[in-house]
Amino acid sequence: MFEKYPHHGRNVWVNPKLKGKHREHCLCFSCIKFNPGAPENNCPIANLNYAVCLAHNLVTPVYECPEFIEKKSL
């Protein structure tokens, strides 16, 4: 049901059905406050979430957020 694979230089466990689907599931990638390349302009919640991910080698998609503002498609 789970598999181990190298992710950013460390072996991690994942449900293979969800592997690689982080962006598809995470609200951040559809939010106007999300600016991952510019921490000073990025959502503070996303910055904190990313810091935890880096510190513990996690992938944590956000499913619920009180600050979410949807990007409107052009």
How big is the CA angle at 47 (ends 53 and 61), to the nearest 5 degrees?
Answer: 50
Flag whether pLDDT at 3 surpasses 90. yes
Q: What integer pLDDT is reported at residue 8 of this predicted model?
A: 86
pLDDT of amino acid 73: 60
Confidence (pTM): 0.85
Q: What per-residue confidence (pLDDT) applies to 74?
A: 47
The Cβ of residue 64 has, within 10 Å, a number of other Cβ atoms equal to 6
pLDDT tens, residue by residue, 6-18: 998 899 999 999 9
The 3 state secondary structure assigned to 18-41 is: CCCCHHHHCHHHHECCCCCCCHHH
- Helix (H) or strand (E) holding 3, with range, is strand 3-7
Computed over its alpha carbons, how large is the radius of gyration of the chain?
Answer: 14
The model's pLDDT over 25-63, given as tens digits with 9 standing for 90+, comes to: 999 999 999 999 999 999 999 999 999 999 999 999 999
